[in-house]
Amino acid sequence: MYVRPISGAAGHARRGGRLALAVGGLLLAVTACGGGGGSDAGSGSQDGKGKPSAQAAGGQSEAVVTIAPKDGATSVDTSGALKVGAAKGKLTEVVVKDDKGTAVAGTITADGSGWTPATHLAAATQYQVHAGAKDSAGRTAAEDSSFTTLTPDNTFIGTFTPEDGSTVGVGMPFSIRFTRGITHPEDVEKAIKVTTVPAVDVRGHWFGNDRLDFRPEQYWKAGTKVTVKLNLDGVEGREGVYGKQSKTVSFTVGRNQVSVVDAKKHTMKVMQEGKVVKTLKVTTGKPGYATWNGQMVISEKFTVTRMNGDTVGYDGEYDIKDVPHAMRLTGSGTFVHGNYWGGDAFGNYNASHGCIGLRDVRGGYDSGVPAAWFFDHSMVGDVVVVKNSTDPTVDPSNGLNGWNLSWAEWTK
């Protein structure tokens, strides 16, 4: 049989097919050469700097991330229990959030081997932890965990002054009293942060184990904005007793008013911004009942109040039910107040049981008397300084009177 040779387009097509196959094989070989070996060589890439990416490096990361406490743990301590670490690699991120989405601050160590929170954790709260690390080849590893902190059986809170949103005088400290005696004062003090505008160094001082006051070295500058963050929730104030407060308090310092009482001259010079605006005649404590010397801060104001000697150890000596224009200076009962029974004592001699008296009328209705003027021009936090009395300086813990401690004594 005669078979005609194939020629023309059909022949070219067949040869073209063989050429295409050959070229395809060459391309496959070139592609394979770009891989770097291994079964997944065809998926490699570079990071733009000539270094293989984590994916291109291939294999599982050698970095090992550890989180304590373990996933699902309950009744976890609020301090010291949360720790994140990395072995055979360095931590690159640690994110800890509570069940409300609030992040917990912390710092990765310089060598990348660990992370700890910057503060304690809140009680009875669930936390989520995500941590990532890289090994020396840049390959990543990550771990996630969650746990719940303990619910305390015993708690404490702090009652404080001044109130949130108030305007106070330049002598007003931030003073907080705790409902339980504190045996871990450093932990409690660390959980209270005071910031100011303009900025000033503010330090805390403990009076006993249940009171902590904060103040600057000198009186506040007029107009200062003070913010106090009480992050006491979860703080172990004493063994097995935890704080349960999380609150922000802000107050503003008003104009500068400092009044100086001279117990010998029987006068009070009222100064605003360092200038005398009024001089008032006063009477102070008589012999045997002298008024304390020193710097005292107005802590309360009463339009009318009752003063009973029985409450301060002067049994039966007086009981005045309607003392007008009264402002407290000490916890032990020293006031600057209106006096309608003092006769001609004002400016002439000392006749009180330790208080500073200003002329007034019964009922306090006359706005023109000295006591009413001083009451109307004073605010909580104003300073009253007494000098030339025969009594010692007031105890700094008696009222809000820590200004009677030097800065070195306050901060030690």
Domains 64-149 and 154-253 alike in fold: yes
Pairing of strands 246-253, 167-168: parallel
Q: How many CB atoms lie within 10 A of CB 386?
A: 28
Q: What is the pLDDT of residue 185?
A: 98
The DSSP code sequence of 96-131 is EEETTSPBPPEEE-TTSSEEEESSPPPTT-EEEEEE
Considering only the top CATH level, what class is 64-149? Answer: mainly beta
Q: How many whole angstroms from its chain centre is CA 339?
A: 42
Q: Which pLDDT score is estimated for 190?
A: 97
- Per-run averaged pLDDT (10 residues), the chain, 412 residues: 39 37 34 34 35 51 98 98 98 97 97 97 98 97 98 98 98 98 98 98 98 98 98 98 97 98 98 98 96 98 88 73 96 96 97 96 95 98 98 98 98 94
Is 19 in contact with 30 (CB distance < 8 Å)?
A: no
CATH of domain 257-411: 2.40.440.10
List residues with catalytic annotation.
337, 355
pLDDT for residue 363: 93
Residues 249, 40: Cα–Cα separation, whole Å:
60
pLDDT value of position 314: 72
Quickly count: other Cβ atoms within 10 Å of residue 148's Cβ. Answer: 17
- Give the angle subtended at the CA of 308 by the CAs of 304 and 310, to the nearest 5°: 160
| CATH number attached to the domain at 154-253 | 2.60.40.3710
pLDDT of residue 58: 60
Contact assessment for residue 301 and residue 375, using Cβ atoms and an 8 Å cutoff:
yes
Per-domain residue ranges for the chain? 64-149, 154-253, 257-411
- Residue 275 is encoded by which pair of tokens? 């200038």
Angle at 106 between CA 90 and CA 65, to 5 degrees: 30
- Give me the pLDDT at residue 383, please: 98
